[in-house]
């Protein structure tokens, strides 16, 4: 079933890209934001009410948004994994049907 293999390969390619995207967002956005927040909260780089407001904005908007985006990517990853399972199930059922058809014809033409 070449079409099944083609569909499965496309889904696997998409899964790899989703996994890379989630990792990149975590590496390039989420982790640096957490580092900035930690440094400011420790009082190492900035103190005062404006620092507190800045941290609040980072946590409430930017950090939360990056985590939501990562979560959505992970959900899409899970959905593509499920699509591969469905493709594999369809392939198995197709093979079973083809095999049973072959058995039927072999019984008819004995």
- How far is the C-alpha of 54 from the C-alpha of 49, rounded, in Å? 9
pLDDT digits (tens, 9 = 90+) for 39-54: 999 998 899 999 999 9
Mean of all residue pLDDT scores within the chain: 88
CA separation for the pair 84, 6 (Å, rounded): 11
The answer to whether the beta carbons of residues 90 and 1 sit under 8 Å apart is: no
With cut-offs at 50, 70 and 90, classify the pLDDT of residue 72. very high
3-class secondary structure, 82:
helix
Give the helix, strand, coil percentages of the chain, each rounded to 5: 90, 0, 10
30 pLDDT higher than 90: yes
Per-domain boundaries in the chain = 2-108
Asked whether residue 61 carries a pLDDT value surpassing 80, the answer given is: yes
Whole-prediction pTM = 0.69
């Amino acid at each position: 079933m070449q079409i099944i293999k083609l569909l499965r390969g496309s889904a696997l390619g998409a899964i790899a890209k989703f996994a890379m995207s989630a990792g990149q967002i975590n590496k390039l956005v989420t982790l640096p934001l957490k580092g900035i927040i930690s440094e400011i909260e420790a009082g190492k780089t900035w103190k005062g009410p404006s620092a507190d407001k800045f941290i609040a904005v980072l946590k409430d908007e930017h950090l939360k948004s990056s985590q939501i985006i990562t979560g959505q990517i992970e959900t899409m990853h899970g959905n593509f994994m499920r699509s591969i399972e469905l493709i594999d199930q369809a392939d198995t059922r197709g093979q079973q049907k083809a095999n049973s058809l072959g058995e039927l014809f072999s019984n008819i033409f004995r």
